[in-house]
Amino acid sequence: MSWLAAPAIAAAAYYLLAVVAAIQWIRRSGGPRPAAAGAPVGISILKPVHGRDPLFYEAIRSHAEQDYPEFEILFGTTSPDDPALEDIARLRDEYPSRRIEAVLVSTEAPNTKAGVLAELARHARYPVFLVNDSDITVEPGYLRSVVATLSDPAIGMVTCLYRAEGRSPAARFEALGIATEFAVSVITARFLGQAEFALGSTMAFRAEDLRAVGGFEAIWDYLADDYQLGRRMHDAGRRIEFAPAVVETNLGAGTWAEVWRHQVRWSRTIRVSRPAGYFGYAVTHATVWAIIAAAAGHWNVAAAALALRMLAGALAAIAIQDRNTSGSLWLIPLRDLFGFAVWVAGAFGKTVRWRDQNLRLSSDGKIHRQF
């Protein structure tokens, strides 16, 4: 057997582990959900906003509808003309008994989101903070699930997996990647003991633990604020755990160019945050290595690698309860080829576009300058 089959064999081994990890995750998530110990603790939901994301009102309304004894929702924006403010006012009118506030923030932080979060933390009244992206829709029982997981004193941060929905072919293609590539990588990383990261879809932690790692001010020079905060919690000896809840993001009707820019930004951000992990991710491109192995005549190796890749993707979609992409699983090989192109593009360059800003990143993941 020639050396051209080696990458496909490595990819097959990785996805065999991924299959085992996904099965374990599904079994665990199907069990009884944890119950919070003691009296329910108050939660301050901190949500930076910048414009009106697709289905923004439905997303924030899913938070206000939570059946939880005591919580508040604090929105932060840097513009008095932000169109999201209209929806926030509507939410406040619909739920007058909730404490729902919009805070106008002035910040010089290179990462505006982290600067807004630092100000919202000063307005928060409860001992537990929950941060998630403005486009996240949550299921009933979300707050109870997250707080129950955080009730273990050894756990310093709780995060959640997420699925995506798109309203254009390009956005649906991106959603397929989230379900069958990104979710696979997260589930497998946890299975292999990598536990220093959190996802921006949900980060819940105690205010005192945030202060112990320097607050949001410690991460406001970085673009990957979620990764940086999770790493600091982990380095401080606090465990990061996943709650059983799965949340959802709406990708809107993005064009192919917009999806490409978003994916490359994501890849470059990961590369400067975790370069070893980024380049080690080469082993996961099973479709590319299967094509090379097949071209070299190693059809059995190619078939095994591709079959395990498809199975892992399908199981990950089940793990995150993704019904939106169930009819598109046959597109996984094509999505993998797109993902490989993104990975190559992400391996080079230090500029990204985030929201309406062009940013340059330094080699340690800091925002070097805006231009």
Instruction: Look at the block and give the residue holding tokens 């990143």.
Output: 361
Specify the pLDDT at position 254: 86
**Dihedrals φ, ψ of 218, to 5°?**
-70, -15
Per-residue pLDDT, averaged over 13-19, amounts to: 97
* Contacts with 1 (C-beta within 8 Å, 6 or more apart), sequence order: 298, 301
Per-residue pLDDT, averaged over 66-89, amounts to: 95
Q: Please choose, from the candidates 198, 205, 226, 212, the residue with its C-alpha nearest in 3D space to the C-alpha of residue 152.
A: 205
How would residue 323 be classed by pLDDT, with cut points 50, 70 and 90?
A: confident
- pLDDT at residue 311 is higher than 70: yes
pLDDT top residue among 128 and 110: 128
Specify the pLDDT at position 31: 64
Task: Output the average pLDDT for the chain.
Answer: 90
Specify the pLDDT at position 203: 96
Residue 189 class from Cβ within 10 Å (0-12 exposed, 13-18 middle, 19+ buried)?
middle
Which stretches within the chain are classed as H helix? Answer: 6-29, 56-64, 84-94, 112-123, 142-150, 169-177, 183-191, 207-212, 225-235, 256-273, 275-280, 286-295, 299-319, 332-346
What are the structural domains, with CATH classification, of the chain?
3-27+259-366 (no CATH), 32-253 (3.90.550.10)
Per-residue pLDDT, averaged over 161-185, amounts to: 94
- pLDDT at residue 38 is higher than 60: no
User: Vertex 52, ends 321 and 48: CA angle to 5°?
Assistant: 80
For 181-206, the pLDDT digits (tens) are 999 999 999 999 887 888 989 999 99
* Contacts with 233 (C-beta within 8 Å, 6 or more apart), sequence order: 156, 157, 198, 205, 209, 213, 240
For 205-230, the pLDDT digits (tens) are 999 999 999 999 999 888 888 889 99
* Residue 63 C-alpha from the chain's centroid: 18
Per-residue pLDDT, averaged over 71-85, amounts to: 95
299: tokens are 């059809």
Per-residue pLDDT, averaged over 56-69, amounts to: 95
Which of 34-38, 323-327, 361-365 bottoms out in mean pLDDT, i.e. has the lowest?
Answer: 34-38
Per-residue pLDDT, averaged over 353-370, amounts to: 70
For 287-309, the pLDDT digits (tens) are 999 999 999 999 999 999 999 99
- pLDDT at residue 54 is higher than 90: no
Percentage of the chain with pLDDT > 90?
69
- pLDDT at residue 13 is higher than 90: yes
CA distances (Å), origin 333, targets 110, 181, 284:
38, 11, 12
Q: Is 51 left (phi over 0), alpha (psi -120 to 50) or beta?
A: left
Give the DSSP per-residue string, 337-363: HHHHHHHHHHTS-SEEEETTEEEEE-T
Specify the pLDDT at position 371: 47
* Contacts with 295 (C-beta within 8 Å, 6 or more apart), sequence order: 4
Instruction: Look at the block and give the residue holding tokens 């508040």.
Output: 72
How would residue 164 be classed by pLDDT, with cut points 50, 70 and 90?
A: very high
Instruction: Answer whether 85's CB lies under 8 Å from 77's CB.
Output: yes
